[in-house]
Amino acid sequence: MGEISDIEQPKTKVKITTTGNGYRFEFINGIQVEVSRINESTRAGTTTAELFITSALPATPQRVYQDRLNLTSASSKRTLRQELEKRIEGDFWQDILEVTCSKTLEMHRQGEPVEEISTEDEITRPEYLLHPLLMQNHPTVIYGLKGTAKSLVGLLCGIIIQLPMPHNPLNMRPLDTTVPVFYLDYETDKNEYSWRLKCLEMAMRFGYLAIQYRRCSTPLVDDIEQIHRIVNEKRIGLVIVDSLGPACGGADLNTSEPAIRYYNALRSLKVTTLTLAHTSKNPLSKETSIYGTVFFTNLARSIWELKKEQEHDDNYLEVGLYHRRCNYSKLFKPMGFRIDFAEDTIAVKRDDDNVVLQANRTNPEKILHCLLNNGAMTTPELVAETDITENTLRVTLSRLKKNGKLTQLGDKKWGVLIQDQYLSTL
């Protein structure tokens, strides 16, 4: 989105273009100013930004200046003007700086345009980039302990989405069209991810695939301008961040500011994002959550937890993926996977009956799973099969019947009411 601003003097006529979290000023005389990393401090009463000034004027250096500037300080602008006049002589620098600073402040404080919404609007249901895991244009988080294959699952999601691969080992549904993926790696290096990609290809035989990859060390918030540029140039539809802690730099993750800044940066990309995160544990409730402040949980639109089961020296890993929170849909049923590691292959397959899911099933899940596998059963048979006490079982059966999950047959047996509905939505 760009706009033309006519200033009184023709030499400062300018085209202004938004660039993610900043602006590009292209002046008619050949001077260009890139404004990025805008930071407004209400406590200090200042607004600063990084200015990168280039020149297309003949017999002048192309790169003229790059540094931060206090946009609201007359003395700072005066000092910069004097420095610029030493590098390129001209009577236009004061006007250029005034236009750049005033328009940047105006547009930055204006924010997004106001739009009217009504019940008469033609709307569509939110879509999934990868059903049921990734809702399109919203932030999703997968968290878990170290060694739960978060990075591998994230990479596999990227493969399925970019190809696309409708018949895939995760048994998830991508869009019909290819969606370019951008992997931001804050933990390892290109060689490791290239090896994982090759091992998955050797097992799955999906052929040639090239995913955009970037080894990162600068916190995402401070690097967002470059990420914006790549997202726009490569037409990226999914950004995968591996992982949350390093992507926030050295900030204290138990305070709200890093979480708010992180999600605001993701929001500015206007694409689907998947963040991989480590877990913390509440010692009072024994519940797990994303490591850090509750804002990391509250500001995500959908959250999944990975759990694992693996013995020493095993060359395979069993994991369970649990839907913990969502703003736009019901919670989907847990999904299980088995990951087999060989010398040069990594094979993944869906397994909803693995030991992880078995160990972590709730009582309703145990009952429904038992009935789906064995058919209709009596209460004593369910007690013997599920190891749930009879009193607890009767209460749970009654609740499942009330919720439309079960029905009681004439021979005192219990059965799943609508198996297809249960299988697809629970």
CATH no. for residue 333?
Answer: 3.40.50.300
For residue 422, what pLDDT is reported?
Answer: 42
For residue 353, what pLDDT is reported?
Answer: 86
Q: Tens place of pLDDT for every residue, the chain, 426 residues?
A: 444 444 445 466 899 988 877 899 999 999 999 998 888 877 778 899 999 999 999 999 999 999 999 999 999 999 999 999 999 999 999 999 999 999 999 998 887 778 888 888 877 777 999 999 999 999 999 999 998 999 999 999 999 999 999 999 999 999 999 999 999 999 999 999 999 999 999 999 999 999 999 999 999 998 998 899 899 999 999 999 999 999 999 889 999 999 999 999 999 999 999 999 999 765 455 678 999 999 999 999 999 999 998 777 789 999 999 999 998 888 898 999 999 999 999 999 999 889 998 888 888 888 988 888 888 999 999 999 888 999 999 999 999 988 888 988 877 899 887 654 444 333
**Are 177 and 91 members of one domain?**
no
Helix 390-402 with 363-374: angle, nearest 10 deg: 80
**Are 78 and 135 members of one domain?**
no
121 occurs within a structural domain: no
For residue 359, what pLDDT is reported?
Answer: 84
For residue 281, what pLDDT is reported?
Answer: 65
For residue 360, what pLDDT is reported?
Answer: 83
**Are 346 and 283 members of one domain?**
yes
Q: What's the Cα-to-Cα distance from 393 to each of 74, 333, 362, 367, 414, rounded to whole Å?
A: 75, 20, 12, 8, 12
**Are 297 and 322 members of one domain?**
yes
For the chain, how many structural domains are there in total? 3
Q: Which of 341, 358, 375 delimits the end of a domain?
A: 358
For residue 289, the number of C-alpha atoms closer than 13 Å in the C-beta half-sphere is 18
For residue 286, what pLDDT is reported?
Answer: 61
30 occurs within a structural domain: yes
Range(s) of the domain holding residue 391: 361-425
118 occurs within a structural domain: no
For residue 282, what pLDDT is reported?
Answer: 58
223 occurs within a structural domain: yes
